[in-house]
Amino acid sequence: MSVDDQPGLYVESTIIMTTVRVVAPFVLTFALFIMFHGADSPGGGFQGGVIAGSVVMMLAFAFGIESTRRWLDIRVVAALASGGVLVFAAIGLGAIALGGQFLQYTEYQPYYADASKYGIELVELGIGGIVASVAIGLFFLLAAGFGHVTEGER
Amino acid sequence: MTLTLLEGALLLFVVGCGLGAALLKDTLASVISFAAYSLGVSIIWLILQAPDVGLTEAAVGAGIMTILFLLALANTVTPDADRLLERVRWRTVALVGAFVVVMGATVPALPTIGDPTAPVVSGDVTQYYLTNAYDQTGVHNAVTAVLAAYRGFDTLGEAVVVFSAGVVALSVLRREVFA
């Protein structure tokens, strides 16, 4: 039993669909702005990631959870989650490999100008990826509930 | 301590919404009340000049949490609420009241908002971050500098906790993929 099968939970509405179609790119841009600009203004990976995740939820409200689930490439979600952790850890451990301490951005300075600033941006992006994909994942997991398991095992 | 009209109204709103979330019998009403509570708290963070925290509270507390609660409600059977308010257990009220009194007793000891002589402002660690953050990390937002550079290892732990929470949710619900 999926969410969309239950009567009354998803209502197809032209107004909501049109609004979401127009607003979604702007919300995603805002999420990226929060992530990137977190170095110089309030925000960062955690907040931007949540906003990016909410774009998918918005789509799910407009077009139905099941259709959004089918449209979404699960490999992207999984890659964002594990990639975020890997990027963060790689930047940290890379500094050790270059002879510094964990996450000592200045170790990258000889190879890239403003290494510290860009290192922090990359870390924020990694965090954003993790948070966005986990938020999306929890959303779809809760929407499916236990119903999907019994359906698959039958 | 003097409150401006806006602060007083927000505090009243937050306390009212908190009581509503705790006392309303209908779970849907309770969730909505909780979302309103989070929104009020996020505005209070803004007034207290903590926009980073306010942004998180608005996005996570008022946004994602409400959606997840609503989804959980949609997937469970909600008994019809025959009355508006939850039955109040006085022993719980006494316990919570005692907790509030203990916490409230510490409030007068806090420095006033924006006090330049507050211990946290004049502390060595704070001053070190404020003077050196830009030179050492190249970012203007000292919060981000502490989060991603000075305390980067802690933040890696935080990020891994979020990642693990997703993986654990997968295994608890016995699914293999996120979507």
| Cβ–Cβ < 8 Å for A132, A80 | yes
Q: Do B106 and B136 fall within a single domain?
A: no
DSSP calls for B26-68 = SHHHHHHHHHHHHHHHHHHHHHTT-HHHHHHIIIIIIIIHHHH
Contact between A88 and A123 (Cβ < 8 Å) = yes
CB contact under 8 A, B52 and A148: no
Both B74 and B137 in a single domain?
A: no
What pLDDT is attached to residue A149? 46
Residue B102 and residue B168 in one domain: no
Q: Are A134 and A81 within 8 A, CB to CB?
A: yes
- Final residue before a domain boundary, out of B76, B110, B144: B110
B101 pLDDT more than 70: yes
Question: Which tens digits make up the pLDDT trace of A11-24?
Answer: 788 999 999 999 99
Q: Quick one: DSSP state of residue B86? A: P
Q: DSSP characters for A118-132?
A: HHHHHHHHHHHHHHH
A39:B144 CB<8 A: yes
Contact A45, A127 (CB under 8 A): yes
Of B78, B110, B142, which residue is a domain's last? B110
Examine the fold and report which residue of B57, B87, B110 is the final residue of a domain before the chain moves on: B110
DSSP track, B120-138: HHHSHHHHHHHHHHHHHH-
- pLDDT of A148 > 70? The answer is no
Residues B90, B171 share a domain = no
Those residues whose C-beta lies under 8 Å from the C-beta of residue A37, and which sit 6 or more positions away, are: A43
Say whether pLDDT at A7 is over 60: no
CA atoms of A73 and B85, how far apart (whole Å):
44
Instruction: Indicate if B119 and B106 belong to the same structural domain.
Output: no
Report pLDDT for B96.
Answer: 92
Same domain? For B11 and B48 the reply is yes
Contact B144 A92 (CB under 8 A): no
Tokens for B151, please give them: 């305390």
Same-domain check for residues B105 and B21:
yes
Kindly tell me if the per-residue pLDDT of A30 is higher than 70. Answer: yes
Domain that holds residue B20: 1-110
- Residue A129 one-letter amino acid: G
Given A43, A50, A137, which is nearest B166 (Cβ)? A137
In this prediction, residue A6 has a pLDDT band, given cuts at 50, 70 and 90, of low
Helix (H, G, I), strand (E, B) or coil at B65: helix
Whether residues B162 and B104 share a domain: the answer is no
User: DSSP code of A11?
Assistant: -
Digit-coded pLDDT (tens) for B152-178: 899 999 999 999 999 998 888 888 777
Residue A132 φ/ψ, nearest 5 degrees: -60, -45
CA closest to A121 among chain B residues = B148
The first and second tokens of residue A63, run together, are 């077009």
Contacts of B168 in chain A (CB under 8 A): none
Domain count, chain B: 2
The DSSP code for B58 is I
Q: What is the pTM for the complete model shown? A: 0.84
Q: What is the pLDDT of residues A43-93, one digit of tens each?
A: 888 899 999 999 999 999 899 888 898 898 889 999 999 999 999 999 989
What's the mean pLDDT when you consider all of chain B? 88
User: pLDDT tens digits, residue range B36-72?
Assistant: 999 999 999 999 888 889 999 999 989 899 999 988 8
Q: Are residues B73 and B100 in the same domain?
A: yes
pLDDT score, position B135:
84
Reply yes or no on whether the pLDDT at A1 is more than 50. Answer: no
Of A53, A89, A141, the CB nearest to B169: A141
8 Å CB contact between B169 and A141: yes
User: Do residue B14 and residue B96 come from a single domain?
Assistant: yes
For residues B50 and B14, state if they share a domain: yes
B119 and B106 in a common domain? no
Q: Classify B84 as helix, strand or coil.
A: coil
Instruction: Assign residue B70 the CATH number of its domain.
Output: 1.20.120.1200
